[in-house]
Amino acid sequence: MLKGKTAVITGSGRGIGKAIAMKMASLGADIVINDIPQSEDADKTCEEIKSLGVDSIVVKGDVRNTADVQDLIKKTLDKFGKIDIFVNNAGVTRDGLMLRMSEDDWDLVMDINLKGAFNCIKAAARPMMKQRSGSIVNIASVVGVMGNAGQANYSASKAGLIGLTKTTAKEFASRGIRCNAVAPGFIESAMTDKLPDDVKKEYFKAIPLAKFGTVDDVADVVAFLASDMSSYVTGQVINIDGGLHM
C-alpha cells in the first residue's frame, strides 16, 4: 500500500507518532523519525522500524525552528531523494483554566502545535511541488472542533491547524498535493494516562462506542489518508473519537 514511499513524521519517537511510523513502515514506506533533540526514544523507534525490512533515519530538531525544519527536509532528500508523505504530529499540552493560563503556556502550545506545522508544510511543499505529488496529514484534535474547558491554548492551536489544513489543500491541489487532518478524541496514551479518574469516567460516558481509542486507531486512518486509496480526498477532517462529537 505504501511500498516505495518516503514518509516523514514529526514527534514520532513515541506515542501516536510512533504508532503512525510503525504502521506506515509495516505497509512498506521508508520512514524519517523526527523528534526533539533530547528525545531518547527516536533511535529506538528507528531500529524497530528497520527490523520490519524498510529503511529509516532519525533527524532530531525543533519544529518551531525554521533552520531545524530545513535540516529535516534536506537530510530526508539527501537520503531518500523525495518526500511522499509528511505527517505533522508534534504537539504539546499545557492545560489550565483560561483565567489562570500564563502567556508562556499559551505561546508554547501555539508555537509547537500550529507554527511548527506551518513551518513544516511550507518546507515540505517545495519538493512535493517539484514532484507534483504528495500527501500531508495533520494531527488535530476533536477539541479543535468542539472546544474544551481548561484547554484554551490546545483547542485554539488544533482549530487553527484545521484551518491551515483546508487552506493548504486549496493552495496546493493544482500541484498534486493533498492535505487532510484527523481529529482524535480520547486516545489511550501517556498524555491521557495523567488525567484524573473522574475526568476519564466523564469522557467514557460521552462516547457512544463505549470505549477509548488506541494509537493504532489513529495510525490506521492516517495511513489511509497518506495512501493512494484516498487519492480523491483533500481538505477533510476525520474525527477518530468513537462518536464523541458528531
Catalytic residues: 154
Which grid cell sits at 141?
484534535
DSSP state of 99: G
Q: Which amino acid is at 242?
A: G
Which grid cell sits at 44?
529506538
Q: Which amino acid is at 238?
A: I
| Torsion (CA) 6, 90, 186, 153 in degrees, nearest 10 | -150
DSSP annotation string for 11-42: T-SSHHHHHHHHHHHHTT-EEEEE--TT-SSH
DSSP state of 51: T
Rounded to whole angstroms, how far apart are CA atoms 130 and 120?
A: 16
Closest CA to 175 of 234, 224, 220, 117: 234
Measured CA to CA in angstroms, residue 190 lies from 16, 124, 183 at distances of 10, 29, 18
Give Cα 45 to chain centroid, integer Å. Answer: 16
**How many other C-beta atoms lie within 10 A of the C-beta of residue 172?**
19
